[in-house]
Every structure is written in structure tokens, then in C-alpha cells.
Amino acid sequence: MKKLNASIAVAAALLLSGTAFAGTFQPASGEAPFADQPVVASSTLQRQDVRADAARHMPAAGEMNAQAEPERASTVTRAEVREATRQAIASGFRPATGEAA
């Protein structure tokens, strides 16, 4: 009886699992073009042209690789800045000071 129950269970499992293998092969998400389609690409670039272009545009690598813009000279004098600050304070502007700043 156990042998009969086991064979029925195996037969049922095979019948029910048959649809799991019926689908066509699809690559995982993001792996396009599909595996069964040949990739057609033609390029007129030569290896030496690509290497020369890569040498002209080196990638940013390592620490401290960013190049800062040069500081621009200010046209405002210290006296003009002080006067503008005094006028702002007189008209109600209060600079942020203390722990809340």
C-alpha cells in the first residue's frame, strides 16, 4: 500500500510540475538583448583611436581629484560691506548667532 501511495504521489508531482518547464528561456531582468538573439554591432573606430580618446579624457580616480574653480576677485570693499550690514540691521535683519545659528 505504501508503494502504491508513493507512486501516486510521484505521478501527481510529475504531472503538476510539467508546466514549470514549459516556458521559454528568458534572461534575468536587465540582461537584454535576449540570449537567443545575436548581437549585431559594427564600429568604424580603430583601437588606437579609442585609446587616444581615453588618454585625453582620463577618469577621475583617487583622493582629492576634484579641481576647484579659481577664486574670483571681489569688487566690493570692506567699508561697503560694513555699511550694507549696518543698513540691514537698521531695517530689522538680525544675523543668526548663538546655539540656534
C-alpha cell at 89: 540691521
pLDDT digits (tens, 9 = 90+) for 22-47: 555 666 666 666 666 676 777 788 89
Residue 69 pLDDT: 77
Tell me what pLDDT residue 41 has. Answer: 74
More confident residue, 29 or 1: 29
Check residue 3 and give its pLDDT.
Answer: 66
- What pLDDT is recorded for position 71? 84
Which has more pLDDT, 25 or 53? 53
| The predicted structure's pLDDT at residue 95 | 80
Per-residue model confidence (pLDDT) at position 72: 85
Indicate if the alpha-carbon torsion angle 80, 81, 86, 88 is positive or negative.
positive
- Quote the pLDDT of residue 42: 76
Give whole-number Cα distances, 77 to 69, 73, 74, 84, 99, in Å: 22, 11, 8, 11, 30
The tens digit of pLDDT for each residue in 54-87 reads: 888 877 777 777 777 788 888 999 999 999 999 9
